[in-house]
Amino acid sequence: MSLQVVTANRLDDGLAVFMTADDGWSTDIRQAVCAEDAQQADALLARADTEKQQITVVGPYLIDVANEDGVLAPTKYREVLRTQGPSVRTDLGYQAG
C-alpha cells in the first residue's frame, strides 16, 4: 500500500485541504498527517468523517501520496491540480496570491 492522506474541501471557501495530526485542516499538503498502512488509513478517514468535521469540510477521502525528499506530494494528476491550483493562468485564483 502506498502512503495516504485525507483531503476534503473546506466549506467556507471550497479550497482543497488536508487533515493534520491535530484533526485540523490545512491547505498545505506538507502539514498533512500520513497513513502508512490500510488500518491507519481507515482510522484516519474515520476521524475525518465525523459530525464535528462536517462543520468544517465536505467529502473527505483518501489520496495516494509519495514522500519525495521528505515532502508529501500527490501521485495522481487530479490531486496535483487540487493541491496546486489550475495549471493555466497562474495569475488567477487563490494560487496567485
Domain assignment of residue 97, yes or no: no
Distance CA 67, CA 70 (A): 6
- What does each of the 97 residues of the chain score in pLDDT, given as a tens digit? 689 999 999 999 888 999 999 999 999 999 999 999 999 999 999 999 999 999 999 999 999 999 988 889 999 988 988 887 766 666 766 666 6
Distance CA 14, CA 57 (A): 9
Domain assignment of residue 53, yes or no: yes
Number of domains in the chain: 1
pLDDT the model gives residue 80: 87
Distance CA 54, CA 15 (A): 15
Domain assignment of residue 27, yes or no: yes
- Whole domain around residue 78: which residue ranges? 3-92
Q: Taking the model in full, what pTM does it have?
A: 0.86
Sign of CA dihedral 65, 67, 70, 74: negative
pLDDT the model gives residue 18: 96
**Residue 68, by phi and psi: left (phi above 0), alpha (psi -120 to 50) or beta?**
beta
